[in-house]
Amino acid sequence: MQQSRRISTLNGDGDDGWGLFIAARKMIAEGHPVVELTIGEHDVRTDPVILDAMHASARAGNTGYAMIPGIDDLRDTVAARVQDRSGQPTTRDNVMITPGGQAALFMAHHAACDEGDRALFIDPYYATYPGTIRAVGAVPVAVKARSSHGFQPDPEEIAKSAPGARSLLINSPNNPTGAVYGAETMQGIARVAQDHDLWLISDEVYDTQVWDGTHISPRSLPGMADRVMQIGSLSKSHAMTGSRCGWIVAPEEVTANLIQLATNTNYGVAGFVQSAGLFALELGEEFEARIAEPFRRRRGLVLDLVAGQQVVRAIPAQGAMYAMLDIRATGLSGEAFAFALLEKHRIAVMPGESFGSAAAGHLRVALTVEDEQLRTAVATLLEFAAELAEHARN
């Protein structure tokens, strides 16, 4: 039987970018120790107090069908959080609770795009972005950001691709680059969205992990609240990756239609997970800062190590739980370097090519192991890079 074209072409003409990760997991399954610096998974799991709240809710019987747009208290809390941070009036009618940020991205593109519409996104990008766009029948169009500019998008480059497009997907703080889009960048993006009548889908799941600069949500900018769909999640801010609890904040008429989409797809988020999500948000900013602090500290550790040598260059890493390293001086692609590092030193990092052509010759290092293990692994990576660069010169 023939499968649908849509499902069989989600990855376009390439692979899904996860070959290195799969190779590392195969090594581990075969009994080889590997230092995994690949995926954005906290090394400290969900706090027991949140799990206790989830358990209590489930034991109290909150295991049936939950309200599809989300329980009112959680929607109200998300609305208050977004209003406080954006300055824009926000109510529960603007909020749709989703099974994590990934489902929110899928639903937002369904709301923005019809079959065959062009949907823009910034390269480098989180690996699922093009497939998510293809999954709704739209056509993904990458707009490159440059390493030499700290991977800040250029609004003029976006504008060149904008005619005839329906949406633009951005992500700040950015995975994989760590870029936090500055005021000039974000204002330029907003102008392009207004000039070309684009839906702006803003993936803000790392908004609690900002090390340099200030997080700016485009929803906060003048005239943008009616064209922004803002994506949030508890995965990164509260170390709840497996709980799958996120949200979309959008104009009321969009939210109303998203409810119909959820009714016909995932049928909402488990009630006991939503109860735990509400409890987690009520723990406040001090708790969120505690979850983020290890990544701030480890980011500094990596930048200090990189500053002590001349071969590898670090992208500023203004936010998120990653460091992006430029290894082009070694003469290898990011993919070739990463596989060689895994083979020789049993250290797994993600090749930049997994995140688009703009990140070729780079590596993404997840800051997701304890400090000394990370220090040793990055020092080994830098020594390996120096060896390769010396070999390339000779």
Specify if 58 maps to a domain: no
- pTM beyond 0.85: the answer is yes
Per-residue pLDDT of 266-293, as tens digits, reads 999 999 999 999 999 999 999 999 999 9
Is residue 8 scored above 90 in pLDDT?
no
Q: How far is 74 from 186, CA to CA, in rounded Å?
A: 29
Contacts of 25 (CB under 8 A, 6+ apart): none
d(CA 372, CA 54): 33
In a domain, 228, yes or no: yes
Domain with residue 349: its CATH number is 3.90.1150.10
DSSP designation for 210? B
* Residue position matching structure tokens 């070999």: 391
Beta bridge partners of 171: 203
Question: Could you report the per-residue pLDDT of 321-334, keeping only the tens digit for each?
Answer: 999 999 999 999 99
**Average per-residue pLDDT for the chain:** 96
199/330 same-domain check: no
In the sheet with 322-326, reading across from the earlier edge strand, the strands are: 35-37, 347-351, 362-366, 322-326, 313-314
273 with 291, same domain: the answer is no
Are 90 and 162 found together in one domain? yes
Alpha helices in 283-393 (DSSP H): 285-307, 334-345, 371-393
> For residue 317, is it within any domain?
yes
Q: What percent of the chain has pLDDT over 70?
A: 99
Side-chain half-sphere CA neighbours of 287 within 13 A: 16
pLDDT tens for each residue of 67-105: 999 999 999 999 999 999 999 999 999 999 999 999 999
Residues 267 and 151 in one domain: yes
Q: Which domain holds residue 380?
A: 5-45+286-385
Are residue 274 and residue 356 in the same domain, yes or no?
no
Same domain, 110 and 89: yes
205: Cα separation from own chain's centroid: 6
Residue 77 belongs to a domain: yes
User: Into how many domains does the chain fold?
Assistant: 2
Per-residue pLDDT reduced to its tens digit, 243-254: 999 999 999 999
Give residue 298's pLDDT band: very low, low, confident or very high (50, 70, 90).
Answer: very high
88 located within any domain? yes
From 229, 263, 283, the end of a domain falls on: 283
| 262 and 295 housed in the same domain | no
Looking at the fold, whether 292 and 268 belong to one and the same domain comes out as no
Residues 254, 124: one domain? yes
234, 257, 283: which is the final residue of a domain? 283
Q: Of all residues in the chain, what percent carry a pLDDT higher than 90?
A: 94
Quote the pLDDT of residue 392. 77
* pLDDT tens-digit readout, 26-56: 999 999 999 999 999 999 999 999 999 999 9
Return the higher-pLDDT residue of 247 and 9: 247
Amino acid (1-letter code) at residue 86 = S
In a domain, 393, yes or no: no
- Res 13 pLDDT > 70: no
Residues 304 and 161 in one domain: no
CATH code assigned at 129? 3.40.640.10
| Cis previous bond, 163, omega within 30 | no
301 lies in the same domain as 260: no
